[in-house]
Copies of this chain bind each other. A is one copy, B any other.
């Protein structure tokens, strides 16, 4: 079966040792350190922006079928994995919406971090809010 391969464009750097379960409840600060060859692509990211950071849950063990239904830590009931943000998922891809504090050279200083130090970053995109049709 076809596989798709991705190389990190950078890594998370943070001194935080414990992290909130999700970016939406985090005020942790840290850095996204981008490989110098991709630095030109950061040109239009600036303080105050919200960015979507796509990363790899690199510490997650291989997925097993009993994880198709899970109990999220903040709920008292179970959910299908695709309705959770669990790091245990068929493809261990994570997504955080972070607030940009500053961009200097190849380093984006961010707030709302929920990723461990050393987390490999796969992509960065602008955050675009969902609006109902016609708005």
Contact = CB atoms under 8 A, between A and B. Distances in A.
Given A41-B68, A43-B83, A91 B24 contact: no
A84 B126 contact: yes
Nearest to A56: B4
Contact of A4 (B6, B40, B51, B126): B6
Contacts of A126: 83-85
Interface in A111-135: 120, 122-131, 133
A89 to B, nearest CB: 6
A27 B82 CA distance: 23
B129 A82 contact: no
Contacts of A84: 125-126
Interface in A57-92: 58, 65, 68-69, 79-85, 89-91
A97 B80 CA distance: 18
Contacts of A3: 5-7
A93 B123 contact: yes
Interface in A22-59: 22, 24, 27, 37-38, 40-45, 50-52, 54, 56, 58
Interface of A: 1-9, 22, 24, 27, 37-38, 40-45, 50-52, 54, 56, 58, 65, 68-69, 79-85, 89-91, 93, 95, 97, 120, 122-131, 133
